[in-house]
Structure 1
Amino acid sequence: MAVEPLLGTRAQRAFVLTIAVQAIVVIVMVGLTFNRVRQEVVFTNQYKTLPCYLSLFILAEIFELAMAFDALRLRNVIELLGIIFFHAALIVFSALQVHESRVALVTTNCPPGTAAWVCSGGPGSLWRKVEPFLIVAPCIIGASWLFLIFWIKQLYEEFGWVIFHVVGANPKLKSMYQYYQILICLLKFDFFCFVGVTMQLLIVVLSDNTAEFGITIAAIPVVLFLLSGCAFAVQREIKWLMGVSLALMLAAMTYLYKLVRFYEPSSQAEYSSTRATLTTFTIVAFLLLLASFCVGVRCFLDFDKGLHESKVNGQSYRPVKIHKDVFKLGGMSERQSSYFTGGAPLGPRISIE
């Protein structure tokens, strides 16, 4: 019989279902907000917060769902914990959007041809009509976060011994492998933060005839090369490529200068409706990149120390067909039997009394 296939346990199915249901509800709420505003205003720079908000939430929910399947496929406890932190960040982001949507909709500088009630914040205004939808989003995400913590606790018990299976009982190898998993997880979240910041700048702020727009576009392939190159280098232990990736990470950290642009008098008006979100994304992206660099250096120092095969082959999971009586000699549980390297079972153990 097949043992623990992907989504083969209640905890796995409930974990994915929780993320999927909250994603659908939140996207519907944001979509209703977007549609209601679109009926009343033209999406000029002042109102571009809403389409950007919708785009970011769709991206975030798809990313989180993909990460959930990836974590379950790899039986990766560290990635599951990363999803918990990411989900908490979504609560903060959705709460910030309530504030930023109000800044965009409630204004004294009402665009020409727009009814006064659209720009006011009183009863019957456009803001009052969309406010409930915006408030529902962080509430739903917060409630689902509690459910995810419960399911991840069960998944931890289900997957917790996988690192032992991949690298054995050697504490040093176990530590090195955990740092490798942390780096791969950080690189995935680096990708989301980079895409999130870039999307906000391109949709909301930058004009396509400015140098800053061109620089932002040019940075996209560089960052993608950085992230994919670093992941490939650390897995295959390619020293020159890892060195280039770490150097590019240091260079990319200078992106923190954008914070000055958000607040300096000459440009702060451009970022008025997205300043809080952009600031949060930029700081989080910087901290993630700094953490990736530090962990990357640690992983680089662990090259050629016997972990190469585990990194290349250890994360491939394939459920296998077994029979219960195979494990009577080894004293192995049926759950443990699903984690064979390349499908090869461990031999029976001999105990000396």
Structure 2
Amino acid sequence: MSNATSPSAASPAEPLRICIAGAGAIGGTLAVRLSAAGHQVSVLARGQTLQAIRERGLTLHDLHGTTHARPAASQLPEFGMQDVIFLCAKSQDMSALLPQIAPMVGEETVVIPTNNGVPWWYFHREGGRFDGDTVKAVDPDGALSNAVALDRLIGSVLFITAEVDSPGVIRSVNPHLMVLGEPSGAMSERLMRVRAAVEAAGIEARATDRIRDKLWTKIIANISTNPLSVITQGTLQQLYGVPELREVVSQIMRETLLVASSHGARVDIDPLTFLQLGEAMGAFRTSMLQDLERGRPLELASIGDAVLEMAERYAIPMPITRTIVSLARFRGEAAQQQTGQTGQQRAQQTQQPQPAARAA
């Protein structure tokens, strides 16, 4: 087992102060890899994850082997001004998270959301007919856009498959890739600085002047598999490989590709290759299926509703996608209701008086 100062990870000339806000599968992966590269990493976490990090640190099992790190951890933003803040929460949790990071955001701080789906900043400096608009499905009242100055943001697209084995222990079996880009398309100095830091941490990192192209690549992957996995409980290997499921995935992809191209995106991967790469990822459960199994809210607003909203801007029908998203929402709400009922039953059983023990 290597530690946070693993000699295999080259330390950059200037270590950065980096906060990971949210230490789930993705946040934990970034925290360990960036710690191993010599950066001053802190983690905003809560509950069992916070307790585990404080007691045992973070452990990552990935293609680099097993790496352990002990970043500073707290549920309060008490780490001072940061150079970079990675927002690693689900889209539906962003409205609660963004106000929390405010004390750590200075004039030079870069804020990088890593969540799935269409980001709330999509139309910021987009340069097209909708420049300056908001994506109402993910930011209905503009709270996200107002919480952190949009000029502080750098966009990101993560192709990282990871899963939490237990609090503070993350497993990832595929290569890590992060694509970074300014919403304006500028190849800025701060963009290159962050890219270099991520690359030095053992994560393939690319800078692009067309971040929305890569966003749509990930959006297509998310919307064609995540909601369907909730309905079928299928792994990526099954969704992309079983003929009946593969056909549904293909239809959703075709519908979404039309929306992407209508918004000026160039998706540089053909559907067949997309399907082949997806199947090769193996028996991995999507993040939305993992949330379903844990009784958590599903990330349907950014992954599903926002894409449907983007389609409506050009009057593009998405009948298959709309149906699958609706069914996934029904399944998710039913699972949450069941989880809530189970929790109430357990609480009632705990409160009920237990029968007295009888003498032998």
Do they fold alike, i.e. is TM over 0.5? Answer: no
The structure with more radius of gyration: 1
Q: Of Structure 1 and Structure 2, which has the larger fraction of its residues in helix?
A: 1
Structure with higher RCO (Cα < 8 A, 6+ apart): 1
Q: Of Structure 1 and Structure 2, which has the larger fraction of its residues in strand?
A: 2
Q: Structure 1 length as normaliser, TM-score? A: 0.30
